[in-house]
């Protein structure tokens, strides 16, 4: 669920992390992966100095592509203890990108990025191994809203997705805004 952004500035509600736990890449390479029943895809795999692997793939902004994003994440993380949670998280984040941003408009798109490896944490003061799942959308008139002041009405069909993501993840956050798009992420400790 997203809340209106109001007066042209973004606001975190309630406090969530605005910076994901991983550093920037220093080297770019590419890898070809086989997707079950879907052929092969070339995707960037950028090792990071601390041993990270990064995969990113853009999808057209249509509802059927959310299932493709889930399949990609399942394929990449099959041998990890967080595969089920990661699949649910990418489904929620990609679905929200389509419902609440220009990614779901005609010609829109969203990008899924999966980072596997060791991370340095500003909030932890050390390193741990985990998975960072990020969905990049094309912006719009709202901001990601992970938890509200009031719990969603139990009779409502919508409004629980980002709360579910926050419950499954170690950390959640977003960056960006209505004009440049949002980078919504969830970090899972392994």
The C-alpha angle with vertex 70 and arms to 68 and 109, in degrees rounded to 5, equals: 55
User: Token pair of 65, please?
Assistant: 């592509």
27 Cβ contact list (under 8 Å, min separation 6): 46, 47
DSSP at 161: H
Q: Are 159 and 152 in contact (CB under 8 A)?
A: yes
Relative orientation angle of helices 161-168 and 83-100, to the nearest 10 degrees: 150
Segment 10-35 shows an average pLDDT of: 41
Label the pairing between strands 109-120 and 53-60.
Answer: antiparallel
End-to-end CA distance of the chain: 27
* pLDDT reported for residue 160: 73
* pLDDT reported for residue 48: 39
Residue 77: band (very low, low, confident or very high) from pLDDT cuts 50, 70, 90: very high
Q: How far apart are CA 61 and CA 109, in angstroms?
A: 4
Q: What are phi and psi of 19, to 5 degrees?
A: -125, 125
pLDDT tens digits along 147-177? 654 455 555 556 678 889 999 999 898 999 9
Mean pLDDT rounded to a whole number for the chain: 74
What would the DSSP string read from start to end of 82-129? THHHHHHHHHHHHHHHHHHSGGGSTT-EEEEEEEEEEEE-TTTSSEEE
Per-residue CA distances from 114 to 7, 12, 76, 125, 136 (Å): 32, 23, 8, 23, 11
* pLDDT reported for residue 53: 87
Res. 52: pLDDT tops 80: no
């Amino acid at each position: 669920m997203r809340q209106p952004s109001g007066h042209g500035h973004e606001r975190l509600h309630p406090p969530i992390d605005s910076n994901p736990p991983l550093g920037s890449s220093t080297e770019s390479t590419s890898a070809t992966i086989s997707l079950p029943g879907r052929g092969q895809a070339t995707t960037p795999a950028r090792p990071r100095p601390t041993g990270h692997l990064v995969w990113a793939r853009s999808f057209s902004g249509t509802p059927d592509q959310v299932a493709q994003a889930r399949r990609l994440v399942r394929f990449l993380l099959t041998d990890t203890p967080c595969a089920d949670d990661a699949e649910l998280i990418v489904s929620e984040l990609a679905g929200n990108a389509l419902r609440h941003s220009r990614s779901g408009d005609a010609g829109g798109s969203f990008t899924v990025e999966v980072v596997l490896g060791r991370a340095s944490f500003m909030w932890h003061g050390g390193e741990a191994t985990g998975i960072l799942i990020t969905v990049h959308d094309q912006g719009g008139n709202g901001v990601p809203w992970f938890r509200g002041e009031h719990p969603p009405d139990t009779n409502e069909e919508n409004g629980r997705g980002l709360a579910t993501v926050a419950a499954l993840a170690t950390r959640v956050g977003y960056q960006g805004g209505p004009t440049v798009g949002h980078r919504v992420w969830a970090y899972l400790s392994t």
